[in-house]
């Protein structure tokens, strides 16, 4: 550990990153090197703390230095957890806003989100998706709880404009081939997820 640096300085950088991400409403790339440096700092602090404990084993009260190191350790650890927690809650919000589907988040080409994730975050999203799907199956006979809840439905049907090819989709009035540039009048509940995922646009 370099002596020029203050305890907790790196952790402050990390939470600043979370803050910036909230303010700009974007997900920044997972800062693996900074996380690693803080974990290294934690190990160094731990060694210093152990040395202090051994050196003052017969003192009645712990030395003040030990208290400071303890606080630094606690703060660093909380910052690390906060950073990771902030990221997964951001991802979950994104997941729901995309109609509770993984492909738009994890597919390699469509967005650059996947490149910003740590492997653990990809794992987390997969398990989270599985858990949501299990919960959804409780209601599967009546409705899809993952559909949009931002706008109450006003009309049954909606005129849509196809902005990206999405192949043949089964709707209640038969299957429709959604080709780019065409317009269709379809039932909202059949294609709502395609609007959310950006294949169709409401006219």
Partner 1 sequence: MPDVEKPPAEPPADPETPLEQLTRHWMNERHAPDILPAQDVLLSSLLDHIRRQSDTIQLLRGDPSSSEEEHIRIMLAQTEVERVKFVVRSYVRTRLFKIETYARYIIANEDVQTRITAAERAYASRHAHLIDRHFYASVLQSLPESQAGLDDIPNFIMPRMITEPETTRAVFAHALEDVTVRTPEGRTVDLKQGSLTLLSFAAVANLIASGQVELV
Binding site for partner 1 (CB under 8 A): 35, 39, 42-43, 46, 70-71, 73-75, 77-78, 80-81, 84-85, 88, 92, 118, 120-121, 123-124, 127-128, 131, 134-135, 138-139, 141-145, 147, 149, 152-153, 155-156, 188-189
Gap between the Cα atoms of 54 and 63, Å rounded: 11
Q: With respect to partner 1, which residue has the nearer C-beta, 61 or 134?
A: 134
The answer to whether the beta carbons of residues 167 and 177 sit under 8 Å apart is yes
Q: With respect to partner 1, which residue has the nearer C-beta, 145 or 163?
A: 145
Gap between the Cα atoms of 19 and 89, Å rounded: 13
Report CA-CA distances (Å) from 145 to 42, 60, 106, 151: 43, 60, 22, 14
Q: With respect to partner 1, which residue has the nearer C-beta, 12 or 167?
A: 12
CB neighbour burial string for 109-118, b if at least 16 within 10 angstroms, e if fewer: eeeebeeebe
Q: Minimal distance in Å, beta carbon 45 to partner 1?
A: 9
Q: Minimal distance in Å, beta carbon 34 to partner 1?
A: 12
Q: With respect to partner 1, which residue has the nearer C-beta, 64 or 181?
A: 64
**DSSP letters for 116-152:** GS-HHHHHHHHHHHHHHHHHHHTTTTT--TTS--SS-
Q: Minimal distance in Å, beta carbon 109 to partner 1?
A: 26
Q: With respect to partner 1, which residue has the nearer C-beta, 75 or 164?
A: 75
Cα end-to-end distance, the chain, whole Å: 60
Q: With respect to partner 1, which residue has the nearer C-beta, 147 or 176?
A: 147
Q: Minimal distance in Å, beta carbon 155 to partner 1?
A: 7
Using the 8-state DSSP alphabet, how is residue 26 labeled?
-
Q: Minimal distance in Å, beta carbon 137 to partner 1?
A: 9
Q: Minimal distance in Å, beta carbon 118 to partner 1?
A: 6
Determine how many CB atoms are found less than 10 A away from the CB of residue 59.
10
């Amino acid at each position: 550990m370099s002596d020029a640096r203050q305890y907790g300085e790196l952790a402050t950088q990390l939470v600043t990153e979370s803050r910036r991400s909230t303010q700009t409403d974007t997900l920044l790339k997972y800062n693996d090197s900074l996380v690693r440096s803080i974990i290294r700092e934690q190990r160094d602090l731990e060694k210093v703390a152990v040395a202090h404990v051994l050196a003052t084993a017969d003192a009645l009260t712990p030395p003040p230095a030990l208290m400071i190191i303890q606080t630094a350790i606690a703060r660093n650890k909380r910052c690390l957890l906060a950073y990771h927690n902030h990221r997964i809650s951001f991802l979950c919000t994104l997941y729901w806003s995309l109609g509770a589907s993984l492909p738009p988040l994890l597919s390699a080409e469509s967005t650059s989100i996947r490149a910003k994730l740590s492997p653990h975050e990809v794992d987390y999203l997969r398990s989270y998706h599985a858990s949501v799907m299990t919960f959804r199956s409780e209601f599967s006979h009546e409705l899809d709880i993952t559909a949009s809840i931002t706008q109450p439905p006003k009309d049954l049907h909606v005129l849509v404009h196809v902005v990206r090819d999405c192949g043949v989709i089964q709707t209640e009035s038969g299957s429709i081939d959604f080709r780019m540039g065409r317009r269709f009048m379809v039932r909202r509940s059949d294609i709502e997820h395609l609007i959310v995922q950006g294949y169709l646009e409401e006219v």
